[in-house]
Amino acid sequence: MISERMKNLHPYVPGEQPKDRVYIKLNANENPYPPAPEVIKATGAFVKKNPMKLALYPDPDSLSLRASIADMLNKTGGVLCRASVSGKKCEPAQEDKIPFVVTPDMIYAGNGSDEVLSFVFYAFFDSANRLVLPEFTYSFYPVYAGFYNIPTDVIPLNADWTLDTAEMLSRAKANGSGIIFANPNAPTGRGLTRDEVRAMIKSADSDKVFVVDEAYCDFGGESCIPLLSEFRNLVIVRTFSKSLCSAGMRLGYIVANPELVNTVTTVKNSLNHFPVDAVAQAAGKAACENPWYYAECARKVACERDDFIRFLSENGWNVIPSQTNFVFAQKPGMGGEEVYQRIKQEGILVRHFSTKGIEDYVRITIGTKKQMNELKRVIGRLQSV
Ligand code: PMP
């Protein structure tokens, strides 16, 4: 009754979404701020003014949304927390300026970056070569590998939680395979510089696709978008769920050369012709047209993160440096599961992974100042027993 393929399925477990009580939710790396007021307005107006747009299929290729995404990247350089804002205008920081114009044909838009990643796995990796990925990274990658029957080669991190780029490269060469990782990485929060990624892609096989997942880049990483003019095999995956305050909207995208965008579009057209619904297209477009708002949210989150890292260090925790909207930290003398449970009892959810090697750590999403003050109060009272 059940297909053989099902044996390879080990579903991803997302951060819990409890209904029993109202928690301060710092467990899924969502943004604590709502979308820009313009998005709320545009979404309401879209439904009111164009009810027939809900009766008809949306644009299957999200053309207008893709043009707005390209425009936003050109305006911000792909690292919102460093973009300079004046009034409602946004300029990329000098170090983030993209040395070419990102065009809409370099963008693929999908139903959240999880779906986009799934199409990327289908399009570019196959069962003949062991895909290289870091040991601790986004835990959906091995799930997709299982789903599509792609063998993996999992490379341990360095002792300081950075990626072992030399080992990743040498294994990818030996396997004749592609590489995927998140930059900055999750759940560690550490990132590679653009120069480090450039050096990696230079020595990787140019006929294998190199995927960089920039879900968290806007909070202080270095985007690899500027490298797209140098490498035709680079695919960058990004999301509206974190820095664009829209996890509920389900929007993700790829930035890559148009040939690879077309390949992913072929996968899309073979699985789900209309992955981005009409309301999400309108909301996403309005978000991209107001990057100044999200730049300010990202800056607030990054400041709060740095303040929280100081607090944890002063309280004796081990904290990994973070370029993201979360921190990965360990309280000496107390297991990660206990830390998670004790914080949960106080009405705050953080994320604990029981995976061996990171079981002593918790991943804490950065919330508003008020939420972080409450968390600090709870953490200050945590005593080992
Ligand atoms: N990539 C990484 C590294 C993530 O942590 C997440 C969020 N869980 C995603 C992609 C997926 O985000 P979404 O599907 O909401 O776009």
Which tens digits make up the pLDDT trace of 157-185? 999 999 999 999 999 999 999 999 999 99
Ligand 1 center to residue 337 CA distance, Å? Answer: 23
Mutate to test the pocket of ligand 1, among 140, 235, 253, 324 (most ligand atoms within 8 A of CB): 140
Q: Write b or e for each residue in 184-213: b if 16 or more Cβ atoms lie within 10 A of its Cβ, otherwise e.
A: bbbbbbbbbebeebbebbeebbeebbbbbb
Ligand 1 center to residue 236 CA distance, Å? Answer: 13
Mutate to test the pocket of ligand 1, among 138, 180, 244 (most ligand atoms within 8 A of CB): 138
Is the CB of 139 within 6 Å of ligand 1?
A: no
For the domain made up of 37-292, give the CATH fold: Aspartate Aminotransferase; domain 2 (3.40.640)
Q: Sheet holding 152-155: strands in order across?
A: 107-110, 252-256, 234-239, 210-213, 179-182, 131-134, 152-155
Which one-letter amino acid corresponds to residue 230? Answer: E
Is the CB of 213 within 6 Å of ligand 1?
A: yes
Q: What are the CA-CA distances from residue 270 to residues 164, 172, 238, 265 (Å)?
A: 36, 29, 22, 9
DSSP code at position 383: -
In the prediction, which pLDDT does 385 show? 53
Predicted confidence (pLDDT) per residue in 348-384, tens digit: 999 999 999 999 999 999 999 999 999 999 999 987 5
Domains of the chain by residue range? 4-34+299-383, 37-292
Is the CB of 249 within 6 Å of ligand 1?
A: no
Taking domain 4-34+299-383, whether its CATH number is 3.90.1150.10 is answered by yes
The Cα–Cα gap between 110 and 358 comes to: 31
In the prediction, which pLDDT does 13 show? 83
Ligand 1 center to residue 215 CA distance, Å? Answer: 6
Question: Which class for 255: exposed (0-12), middle (13-18), buried (19 or more C-beta within 10 A)?
Answer: buried
The closest residue, in CA terms, to atom 12 on ligand 1 is 113
Mutate to test the pocket of ligand 1, among 13, 16, 25, 114 (most ligand atoms within 8 A of CB): 114
Give SS3 for 322.
coil
Which atom of ligand 1 is closest in space to residue 252's alpha carbon? 16
Mutate to test the pocket of ligand 1, among 163, 185, 241 (most ligand atoms within 8 A of CB): 241
In the prediction, which pLDDT does 7 show? 82
The residue ranges of the chain whose pLDDT is under 50 are none
Q: Are 225 and 95 in contact (CB under 8 A)?
A: no
Is the CB of 31 within 6 Å of ligand 1?
A: no
